[in-house]
Structure 1
Amino acid sequence: MNQDRLRLDLADLADEVNPVDLRDRALRTSRRLGIQRAIATSAAAVVMLGAATGTAFALMPRDDGQAPLPGDSPSITVTPSPTEPSPIESSPTPEHSRSAEAPPSNPGVSDAVLSGIRFYLGFTDKDAVIHAVRGTADQVATRVSLDTEVCVRNTITVSPDGKRVAWVQDSADSGMTGVLMAGTVGKQGATRLLDGVDCLGSNPLVWRGSDLLMVSRGAVSVLYDVAAKKRVDGDPGQETLRCWSADGRWLAAVSDGKPYVADGTQLHQYAYTPPKGEAIKWDGWRARGVSMDGRYVSVGWIGTDPSRQDGSFTVVDVTTSKVIELPVSGEVRSVQFAADGRVLVRQATRVVVLDAGFQKIGEVAEPRDVQQLTLLTYAP
């Protein structure tokens, strides 16, 4: 696998700008208000989450000299290649050095089956390390320094398009809240966005698309536009255990104890009964991902990797409440719905790739260095 290509592609991901149609966002808000009125009059009442979104700009490291970070703040650091400038660190991390026994690259398979970049999260004693992997080529993209461990470890996450990294920096006076921080994957610098953000619980940081981030401040949910660096006004709603599809259209949540999936015009309530033997070990199950058409959710346990999607083990059709039989054998570590419609089923040493109808397209062997790490997201 050509690692130069990986470096260039990741740089392109960081520099792309995706304009957002504000009229479309206003229409979505209007549709949301309509479905809220409809649901309020039905027997199974569900309160919809409504939020207008802000204008998307490419998030760059702060260089205006305003509100500098404290000297002990975690920051994104990247070591460039010694031969040419690169947003990806070319040398391996000390605790995850590449092994000669790692599965060999197979361009004929990995490029065709999973041509985008997978982002994995690992930790050293001093840093949170984000790996960028294409096929079986693994390189370090970004490091975030750890101050105290609780908040950063529990919240660091990458946006669905692979451009932005966000986390909660621990506060000196509390282990429960901190400062919302954000930066660009593969670039230096970080921006201080919002104080008093919770870093524990079942939903510390949740992406709604690639620009908006839902955070919790006490009992209040806040939607923050990371690209525009401002809070988005709107009713946060009363839903719990929320997650969105990769494009931010479909919301999976729970209201009055009833799980559902909805956009601005459609609502699907569904039921799921987890395996009895496993269920007694946990505090319940939850949706951890939503398909691009809103028809399917990936299901996992509450409390596992709260800011990330890793940890789901099955898929439910929300229109029928039936479990989908995945074409894999062995334990499933996570199921993720990608923005291009593909479904990534992660197992012990491989990622099995399915189409939107859950037919197998192929599979990619994971590099040995990342097999025990958290799969944050896949950017097509």
Structure 2
Amino acid sequence: MNGDRLRFDLTNLADEVTPVDLRDRALRTSRRLGIQRAVATSAAVVVLLGAATGTAIALVSRSDGQTPMPADSPSITITPSPVDVIPTPSPSVEPAVPVRPPAASDDAVLPANMYWYTEEEFGEARNAPGRIWRATPDGKWKLVREGRPGSKTNSGPVAPSPDGARAAWIERSPTNRLVISRFGGGSVYTVPVKGKLTCGPRWLDSDRLLFAEGQIGRGDWTVVAVNADGTGRRVLATNQQDCPVVGAGWFGRSEARTVELRQESGKHRTVTPRIPAGLKIHSLVGIAAGGQTVVISTHVPNAGECGCTWRIRNYRVDVASGAAVELATLDPAWRKATGHGDAKQVRFLPNGEMVAQIDAASIGGDAPDHRLVRYAADGRVLGSTAVPSGNPWGELLG
């Protein structure tokens, strides 16, 4: 009887078992543990490598019906654009690096046609080109462009245009100059840069950008705007205290308790955000079209002013009134003085919401840990998603 009972119980238990897609589980494991370990996993994941070209075929996992997270993307499509893509170099010169599948975006977080830039990686282990990704209507990241803008004589980072089609950077040799080109290579335009110091280029829009020339010492920056083809040079401001922040056709700067905005047309605005006493503004993060709203990042000052121990608080500010709405922290632990949660970039949406690039790592760490967070107009977090996997250094565009 005991044997019959045991068989009966085992039969019922088998009927209740839900089949598990081992391939899907293995794919998720492979993202965490690396391709080599995934190949050795009993739930086999086959990665096909083109031996002649060194090109990897992307892996596509199936949705398990749960909320998409960075390691569990429902579907990843990597489709390089036929335009502006650098041909695969000879392995003897530069080892080919497979494109790693990016984390899926959440359609509730990222609107379509928002762009992310992944910086170029250097070194023998990884020698990946810079990449431009676009958020798609079905909530995924799509690779649309890759290239190697910049040179060995860069004096600062490469700055992609808002649509990711162009790139600009400052070169020191043979003389200081601004260089502008297509992101994937092609015609190059150069603009002479005066002064011993320069502020790296930032784009006013996809067709016009600015940079700043300066001498040694604070308070001597001259802000200059040019077209994407290097023409139309125009001085916008002189005797500026520091490098400008640019957004939606405006440029500006911040002091400890004030923000100053300018436009090429000559418009000028100054606002004193109504933030709690004791807070200090350390960066102007973004400017909305029309210059009516800005986002600032602030902190509680401490001895030595080490960013790694700042209590960071980000605010959305109405420029006309100075009214400030605090953006909720993504992690309650960031309410302590840990240097986490600094806002880096922001893009305003037509409905009053916005998407912010938030660094989940501590200021001064070895590498950032960017999250894209969608905020309501009242500062509530509506959702968050990961940026494409790969080089952690990058930024939100467009």
Structure 2 length as normaliser, TM-score? Answer: 0.54
Output one character per residue of 1:108-130: Cα deviation in whole Å (capped at 9) or x when no partner: 73796344321122431498942
Could you tell me which residue of structure 2 aligns to residue 252 of structure 1?
A: 252
Give distance in 2, aligned partners of 1:193 and 1:344.
33
Give distance in 1, aligned partners of 2:99 and 2:108.
19
Q: Is the 8 A contact 2:158 2:167 kept in 1?
A: yes
Residue 344 of structure 1 pairs with residue 355 of structure 2: yes
How far apart are 1:367 and its partner, in Å? 2.7
How far apart are 1:140 and its partner, in Å? 5.8
Give distance in 2, aligned partners of 1:161 and 1:328.
29
Output one character per residue of 1:235-292: Cα deviation in whole Å (capped at 9) or x when no partner: 524444422322x1x3423599953235555734214779979x7xxxx723132122
Give distance in 1, aligned partners of 2:100 and 2:145.
15
Runs of 5+ consecutive residues of structure 1 not aligned to the other structure: 15-76, 82-90, 302-311
Could you tell me which residue of structure 2 aligns to residue 144 of structure 1?
A: 149
Q: Is the 8 A contact 2:133 2:141 kept in 1?
A: yes
Could you tell me which residue of structure 2 aligns to residue 133 of structure 1?
A: 133
Mapping of residues 88-99 of structure 1, within 5 Å: 94=97, 98=99
Q: The residue matched to 1:236 in structure 2 has which SS?
A: strand
Could you tell me which residue of structure 2 aligns to residue 183 of structure 1?
A: 181
Residue 287 of structure 1 pairs with residue 296 of structure 2: no
How far apart are 1:207 and its partner, in Å? 2.6
Given residue 131 of structure 1, which amino acid in structure 2 is its aligned partner? R
Given residue 355 of structure 2, which amino acid in structure 1 is its aligned partner? L
The structure showing larger relative contact order (alpha-carbon pairs under 8 Å, at least 6 residues apart) is 1
Could you tell me which residue of structure 2 aligns to residue 215 of structure 1?
A: 211
Which of 368, 374, 379 is matched with 2:394 structurally?
374
Output one character per residue of 1:125-160: Cα deviation in whole Å (capped at 9) or x when no partner: 4989422123334576121353245x0xx2421122
Given residue 375 of structure 2, which amino acid in structure 1 is its aligned partner? L
Could you tell me which residue of structure 1 aligns to residue 190 of structure 2?
A: 192
Output one character per residue of 1:78-98: Cα deviation in whole Å (capped at 9) or x when no partner: 2269xxxxxxxxx9974xx55
Which of 61, 67, 81 is matched with 1:7 structurally?
81
How far apart are 1:323 and its partner, in Å? 4.2
Q: The residue matched to 1:225 in structure 2 has which SS?
A: strand
How far apart are 1:198 and its partner, in Å? 5.3
How far apart are 1:358 and its partner, in Å? 4.6
Which of 192, 202, 205 is matched with 2:201 structurally?
205
Could you tell me which residue of structure 2 aligns to residue 230 of structure 1?
A: 231
Structure 1 residues 122 and 109, CA gap change in structure 2 (3 angstroms): same
Give distance in 1, aligned partners of 2:149 and 2:227.
17
Structure 1 residues 110 and 191, CA gap change in structure 2 (3 angstroms): farther
Considering only aligned residues, what root-mean-square deviation do their CA atoms show, in Å? 4.3
Give distance in 2, aligned partners of 1:180 and 1:2.
35
Give distance in 1, aligned partners of 2:227 and 2:345.
23
How far apart are 1:183 and its partner, in Å? 0.4
Could you tell me which residue of structure 2 aligns to residue 298 of structure 1?
A: 295
Output one character per residue of 1:308-342: Cα deviation in whole Å (capped at 9) or x when no partner: xxxx9623413444542224422424343336545
Mapping of residues 27-66 of structure 1, within 5 Å: none
Structure 1 residues 286 and 361, CA gap change in structure 2 (3 angstroms): closer
Give distance in 1, aligned partners of 2:183 and 2:260.
33
Q: The residue matched to 1:3 in structure 2 has which SS?
A: coil
Q: Is the 8 A contact 2:275 2:324 kept in 1?
A: no
Give distance in 1, aligned partners of 2:167 and 2:197.
15
Give distance in 2, aligned partners of 1:165 and 1:159.
6
Q: The residue matched to 1:123 in structure 2 has which SS?
A: coil
Q: Is the 8 A contact 2:221 2:239 kept in 1?
A: no
Give distance in 2, aligned partners of 1:255 and 1:351.
26
Structure 1 residues 287 and 122, CA gap change in structure 2 (3 angstroms): same
Given residue 393 of structure 2, which amino acid in structure 1 is its aligned partner? L
Q: The residue matched to 1:338 in structure 2 has which SS?
A: strand
Give distance in 1, aligned partners of 2:108 and 2:96.
24
Give distance in 1, aligned partners of 2:96 and 2:379.
35
Structure 1 residues 258 and 221, CA gap change in structure 2 (3 angstroms): same
Give distance in 1, aligned partners of 2:326 and 2:275.
15
Given residue 3 of structure 1, which amino acid in structure 2 is its aligned partner? I
Q: The residue matched to 1:221 in structure 2 has which SS?
A: strand
Give distance in 1, aligned partners of 2:225 and 2:116.
25
Give distance in 1, aligned partners of 2:386 and 2:142.
10
Give distance in 2, aligned partners of 1:238 and 1:257.
20
Greater C-alpha Rg = 2
How far apart are 1:214 and its partner, in Å? 2.3
Give distance in 1, aligned partners of 2:176 and 2:274.
35
Give distance in 2, aligned partners of 1:367 and 1:111.
14
Give distance in 1, aligned partners of 2:121 and 2:276.
31
What is the aligned-residue identity percentage?
15
Given residue 79 of structure 1, which amino acid in structure 2 is its aligned partner? P
Q: Is the 8 A contact 1:155 1:204 kept in 2?
A: yes
Output one character per residue of 1:212-252: Cα deviation in whole Å (capped at 9) or x when no partner: 32223334524232324224335524444422322x1x342
Could you tell me which residue of structure 2 aligns to residue 33 of structure 1?
A: none
Q: The residue matched to 2:107 in structure 1 has which SS?
A: helix
Given residue 151 of structure 2, which amino acid in structure 1 is its aligned partner? L
